[in-house]
Amino acid sequence: MKVDLYEIMSRAKFSRRRMLQGSAALGATAMMPSVMGFGPALAQDNVRAQILAIPGVGAGSPTDADWQKVGELCLGATKANVAEGEFAGVELTFFGINNNGLHNILFRGLLKGWETYTGAKINWIDLAQADYNPRLQQNIATGTVDFDILAMGAPLEGDTASKGLLDEMPDWVKAQIEMDDYVNYLKAPVGTWDGKTYRISIDGDCHTFAYRTDYFGEGAIGGAEVPKTWQEVNAVSKALAGQTDPLTGLPAHGYLDPLKGWGGFGFYFLENRAAAYAKHPADPAWLFDADTMKPRVNNPAWVQAIQDVMDLIATPNAYPADQINADPGTTGFSQFLAGTGSMLTWWGDIGSNARTSDTSVVGDVIGFGINRGSDKVYNSQAGAWEETYNESPNMAYLGWGVYVTNRVSGDEKKRKAAWSAAAHLGGKDLSLWMSAYPSGFQPYRNSHFQYDEWEAAGYDRAFVEDYLGSNADSYNHPNAAIEPRIPGIFQYYSVAEDELAKGYAGQYASAQETADAIAAAWEKITDQIGRESQIALYKASLGM
Amino acid sequence: MSGAGDLLHVVSNDTISARRKTFARLIIWGSGLLLLGVGAAQTLHSTGNAALGFENWRPTLYAYVAWAICLCWGQVLLHGENGKRTLFVLPAALFVISLTVFPLLFGLIIAFSDWNLSSPTGRHFNGLDNVRQMLADPFYWNAMTNMVWYTLAILVEYAIAFGLALALNAEIRARKFFRVAFLLPLMLSPVAVSWMIGKSMLEPRFGPVARLARELGWENPSFFGDPNVAKATIMIMDAWTFIPFMMIMILAGLQAIPKELSEAAKVDGATGWRAFWEVTFPLMLPVSITAILIRIIFKLKLADIVIAVTSGGPGGATDTVTSFIFREYRDRSNVGYGTLLAMVYLVVIIIAMTLLMKLADRITRPRT
């Protein structure tokens, strides 16, 4: 769980009554196996209830002692596959980031019991978040991979799996971590390359739609209904220009597009608009033609998305002043949470900060949903619009996973040890704890959305259902827009940001011309990285 | 040992045998050949022309260190005490060469390569392709044009810095306090300046400067929305940070002017403006030129404020060459092209600074 989300849930909604409820439920759950005679299934439930009580919702942030305790309690799956002391003498190196109390710092505690039981020893390569990518890219480019286990985001699979740097996941690991429990979009092809599985997911990512509940409803300034399509979003945004925000008394605004780049991450936000137009349910590809790598970014669907933004730029007061200089950080935190604007798409941080951040004023007037749809969708293969409703949640960034590198491939004992450690971190029960307490990771398994467990542990059910429900609906959507895991994907995004900035500033004559400039720049990148290899890798990443 | 020779500078005058000299030449040339051999073998291995089993470039490094040691040792063997004197400088010179010349050479190799870190085929030479791409790159030339504007703004900064220096040089109250106070912006990190001023004080809705602008009648104040306003705002933020630097240099220059000169000018009837224009300003020219040249060097490296506040926008209006190279290199892993841009920029800076220094020399040379 993201730290902020934990704080909101534990701080704002915790009460003595809830604690008693939680304790009673936990006590009851703990007693059930012996009373009712149920075996292993309930033993697992017992573990889940036990770990959710460590340290207990509202009892402050977990400490290293808590992580170690949780890690030990979740060793059941490991013990089924590994004998005690089986990995004595094995040393593994783990590469990841060292954000305070999260990621590697947390993994150390969670793996302590595993190390004691198996006899293996883990050495840690801790990197600051900003140093992570350059170090990894440098290792890859110079052939100096010096680690056995790697925590990594799925978009980088194109830079690693495609180059044969990863070790294929053994079948026993798939069984141990119960991969079938993953939400739909994290199942293959994500985590796989050329049909081989490499990733143990420990996180999920997607953009969801957040809106101000006080803008919508009977008599509200935004209309009776929350906009369902991007066409409606734009119509409402234009109509709101010149009105007054019901909460702050300042000028009212509709949807907040970030018009400034954000190191490549800003492009995800144009994708949110484009997904409904461009991601056809019958076609997994939506950024490039899979057979040629010809960019689709200048097809009518994407041009429509860019045009939508340009229309709002051209509408006086549709955006807040200086929007041309607003990046996603600004739209999310300086604008939406501070009461400016009524609609936004973002990662989970907005939901979690809405009630916990001191600068947020929208905690009580915020609602969530999946990415907006469209009343038409472009069929790229037919080259024509189809007048039918379409929606497509944007799985921006795809979350963190644990991978094993090919350094261990030649040593079966070491290989098994590395996969066992990774499987322990990605285990079903341990992952529930990680999604419920500060870890830096979001829920990503269907079993994480059993709200009864959360309620029993003392969480506020209403908020969990609203906020996490929008995530669950996005994850399991049949037409989710999946990020292409090809080498250099952020290069494409970065150069697109530069061209979009010119387009938004009026330096190109039209949305089409802007899109054409992006497409030309993307073609250059594809040629530089290697078109044939990119085609093969793009297809592999789409599971084609 | 003999008593003949240059005993003024040399304590002992060694008699060096022919055998010793031969040995010295042998180790110098031998280690040199070893270095060349290892280097050539590694080059053949890395270019794929021979499979010699090298895992990294350390053998060449070790051969270089061995050659450097033999070269130093050889100087003593060849020249005796004079050789020992050489040892005071030679190791340092070799060290500097290793840290400047070699990286520069490697940089040039990379600059003429197509090297995208994400490319599975790695680095390969592409001749002048990067140069052609640069010549046709509208983002680079836009950034170059912006640099001209940013550099021209130094004239205004100089005028303000001179004014402040004159004020602080005068007999005013709390002069020491103001000297320290005016220096404070220079001590701040440009990133902190970006956040405190660019992101907070100039925030268009709640920022104090925006509120003041609204009070003064600017309905929708936006400091980074319009290209020209954005460029001016970046110039002002950068100027705020660096004017104190120029000011302190000019102040030091002003304090070095003998009081007799201004007193003599006063006796001759020069008024305030005239005294400044005819006496103070010409005397301050060498200091002024130095301050401006150093400021230009700083200015040409401007990137942090731009990256943090505008990312080069709106539409490239505030982009600088350095911030563009940063995006090309970091965000797009385009190492070859990014290095070429940096190399070309280095050459442009060197040429421009050389011309400016020649010009400055001509201006400040006493007229005879």
One-letter amino acid identity for A17?
A: R
Q: How far is CA A73 from the centre of its chain?
A: 27
CA distance A518 to chain B (A): 13
Directed axis angle between helix B90-111 and helix B58-79, to 10°?
150
Integer CA distances (angstroms), A60 to A3, A454, A459, B196, B354, in order: 11, 17, 14, 32, 63
CA distance A317 to chain B (A): 10
Domain end among B70, B96, B129: B129
Q: For B227, name the nearest residue in chain A, comparing CA atoms only.
A: A505
Q: What's residue A39's pLDDT? A: 44
Q: For A317, name the nearest residue in chain B, comparing CA atoms only.
A: B220
Give which of A533, A199, A110 is closest to A398, Cα–Cα: A199
The answer on B299 and B179 residing in a single domain is: yes
Q: What's residue A360's pLDDT? A: 82
Q: For B332, name the nearest residue in chain A, comparing CA atoms only.
A: A491
Q: Of A137, A261, A264, which has the smallest distance from its Cβ to B117's Cβ?
A: A137
Rounded Cα distance, B214 and B221, in Å = 7
Q: Of A327, A338, A498, which has the smallest distance from its Cβ to B139's Cβ?
A: A498
Q: For B333, name the nearest residue in chain A, comparing CA atoms only.
A: A491
In a domain, A32, yes or no: no
Per CB-CB distance under 8 Å, the chain A contacts of B311 are 260-262, 327, 497, 501
Rounded Cα distance, B235 and B349, in Å = 20
In order, the DSSP letters of A394-407 are: EE-S--EEEEEBGG
Rounded Cα distance, A475 and A347, in Å = 13
Q: Of B119, B205, B230, which has the smallest distance from its Cβ to A320's Cβ?
A: B205
One-letter amino acid identity for B83?
A: G
Helix residue ranges per DSSP H, chain B: 18-46, 58-79, 81-87, 90-111, 129-135, 138-169, 175-187, 190-193, 208-215, 227-256, 259-267, 272-275, 281-300, 304-309, 321-326, 335-364
Domain end among A446, A475, A504: A475
Identify whether the C-beta of residue A261 lies closer than 8 Å to the C-beta of residue A327: yes
The answer on B138 and B120 residing in a single domain is: no
Contact A498 B330 (CB under 8 A): no
Global pTM reads 0.81
Better-predicted residue by pLDDT, A427 or B262: A427
How many domains does the structure of chain A reveal?
Answer: 2
The SS3 assignment for A37 reads coil
In a domain, B24, yes or no: yes
Rounded Cα distance, A318 and A412, in Å = 61
Q: What is the pLDDT of residues A289-339, one digit of tens each?
A: 999 999 999 999 999 999 999 999 999 999 998 899 898 989 998 899 999
Domain that holds residue A179: 64-202+400-475
One-letter amino acid identity for B102?
A: F
Query: Which residue reads 């261990």 in tokens?
Result: A408
Rounded Cα distance, A450 and B116, in Å = 45
The answer on B55 and B24 residing in a single domain is: yes
Q: Of A159, A264, A533, which has the smallest distance from its Cβ to B331's Cβ?
A: A264
The answer on A488 and A444 residing in a single domain is: no
Contact B120 A162 (CB under 8 A): yes
The SS3 assignment for A121 reads strand
Q: What is the CA radius of gyration of chain B?
A: 29
Interface test with B, best of A194, A267, A324, A361 (most B CBs within 10 A): A324
The residue-averaged pLDDT of A233-245 equals: 97
Q: What is the pLDDT of residues A404-458, one digit of tens each?
A: 999 999 999 999 999 999 999 999 999 999 888 877 788 899 999 988 888 887 7
Rounded Cα distance, A479 and A280, in Å = 8
Per CB-CB distance under 8 Å, the chain A contacts of B205 are 250, 320-321, 338, 340
Averaged confidence pLDDT in chain A: 87
Q: Is residue B204 scored above 90 in pLDDT?
A: no
Contact B310 A325 (CB under 8 A): yes
Query: Which residue reads 């500060």 in tokens?
Result: A438
Q: Is residue B359 scored above 70 in pLDDT?
A: yes
Query: Which residue reads 């004079």 in tokens?
Result: B82
Contact A507 B327 (CB under 8 A): no
Contact B332 A159 (CB under 8 A): no
One-letter amino acid identity for A324?
A: I
The answer on A511 and A441 residing in a single domain is: no
Identify whether the C-beta of residue A501 lies closer than 8 Å to the C-beta of residue B312: yes
The answer on A293 and A252 residing in a single domain is: yes
Contact B316 A498 (CB under 8 A): yes
Q: What is the pLDDT of residues A4-40, one digit of tens each?
A: 555 555 554 443 334 344 444 444 433 333 333 344 4
Strand A200-201 to A121-127 pairing: unpaired
The answer on B269 and B145 residing in a single domain is: yes
> How many percent of chain A have pLDDT more than 90?
60
Identify whether the C-beta of residue B297 lies closer than 8 Å to the C-beta of residue B186: no
Q: Of A325, A498, A507, which has the smallest distance from its Cβ to B224's Cβ?
A: A325
In a domain, A69, yes or no: yes
Write down the ipTM of this complex.
0.79
Q: Is residue A501 scored above 70 in pLDDT?
A: yes
Could you tell me the CATH number of the domain that includes residue B271? 1.10.3720.10
Domain end among B100, B129, B158: B129
Identify whether the C-beta of residue A270 lies closer than 8 Å to the C-beta of residue A500: yes
Domain that holds residue B80: 18-129
The two tokens of residue B277 are 């224009």
Contact B334 A504 (CB under 8 A): no
Question: A-B interface: how many C-beta pairs under 8 angstroms?
Answer: 112
Contact A525 B230 (CB under 8 A): no
- Residue B9: CA atoms inside 13 Å, Cβ hemisphere, count? 6
Could you tell me the CATH number of the domain that includes residue A346? 3.40.190.10
pLDDT-based confidence at residue A352 (cuts at 50, 70, 90): low
- Residue A388: CA atoms inside 13 Å, Cβ hemisphere, count? 9
In a domain, A55, yes or no: no
Better-predicted residue by pLDDT, B282 or A137: B282
How many domains does the structure of chain B reveal?
Answer: 2
Contacts from A498-501 at CB under 8 Å and sequence distance 24+? A498/A261, A498/B139, A498/B312, A498/B316, A498/B327, A500/A259, A500/A261, A500/A266, A500/A267, A500/A270, A500/A306, A501/A259, A501/A260, A501/A261, A501/B311, A501/B312, A501/B313, A501/B314, A501/B315, A501/B316
Q: Is residue B17 scored above 50 in pLDDT?
A: yes
Q: For A529, name the nearest residue in chain B, comparing CA atoms only.
A: B119
Q: Is residue B172 scored above 90 in pLDDT?
A: no
Identify whether the C-beta of residue B87 lies closer than 8 Å to the C-beta of residue B75: yes
Q: Of A263, A340, A506, which has the smallest distance from its Cβ to B205's Cβ?
A: A340
In a domain, A1, yes or no: no
In a domain, B140, yes or no: yes
pLDDT-based confidence at residue A116 (cuts at 50, 70, 90): very high
Print the SS3 string covering B292-341: HHHHHHHHHCCCHHHHHHCCCCCCCCCCCHHHHHHHHHHHCCEHHHHHHH
Q: Is residue A247 scored above 80 in pLDDT?
A: yes
The answer on A405 and A374 residing in a single domain is: no
Burial (CB count <10 Å: 0-12, 13-18, 19+), residue A24: exposed
> DSSP label at B41?
H
The answer on B333 and B199 residing in a single domain is: yes
Highest mean pLDDT among A48-62, A63-77, B250-264, B267-281: A63-77
The SS3 assignment for B178 reads helix
The answer on A420 and A528 residing in a single domain is: no
CA distance B42 to chain A (A): 16
The answer on B262 and B139 residing in a single domain is: yes
Rounded Cα distance, B307 and B194, in Å = 9
In chain B, which among 65-94 make CB contacts under 8 A with chain A? none
The answer on A294 and A159 residing in a single domain is: no
In a domain, B283, yes or no: yes
Contact A134 B330 (CB under 8 A): yes
Q: E strands within A235-337?
A: none
In a domain, A326, yes or no: yes
Strand partners, A394: A481
Residues 6+ apart with CB under 8 A from B268: none
Identify whether the C-beta of residue A279 lies closer than 8 Å to the C-beta of residue A318: no
Rounded Cα distance, A124 and B221, in Å = 50
Per CB-CB distance under 8 Å, the chain A contacts of B225 are 321-325
Residues 6+ apart with CB under 8 A from B103: none
Rounded Cα distance, A347 and A350, in Å = 7
- Residues on chain A bordering chain B, Cβ-to-Cβ distance under 8 angstroms: 134, 137-138, 140-141, 158-159, 162-163, 250, 260-264, 320-325, 327, 334, 338, 340, 487-488, 490-491, 494-495, 497-498, 501-502, 504-507, 525, 528-530, 533
Q: E strands within A273-408?
A: 343-346, 366-369, 373-374, 377-379, 384-386, 390-391, 394-395, 400-404
Contact B331 A501 (CB under 8 A): no
Q: For B319, name the nearest residue in chain A, comparing CA atoms only.
A: A498
Per CB-CB distance under 8 Å, the chain B contacts of A504 are 314-315
Q: For A521, name the nearest residue in chain B, comparing CA atoms only.
A: B137
The answer to whether residue B327 neighbours chain A at the CB level (below 8 Å) is yes
Biggest CA pair distance of chain B: 92
> DSSP label at B35?
H
Domain end among B129, B151, B170: B129
The answer on A317 and A283 residing in a single domain is: yes
Interface test with A, best of B46, B58, B118, B320 (most A CBs within 10 A): B118
DSSP H helix total and E strand total for chain A: 22, 16
Q: Of A162, A488, A502, which has the smallest distance from its Cβ to B333's Cβ?
A: A488
Contact B118 A159 (CB under 8 A): yes
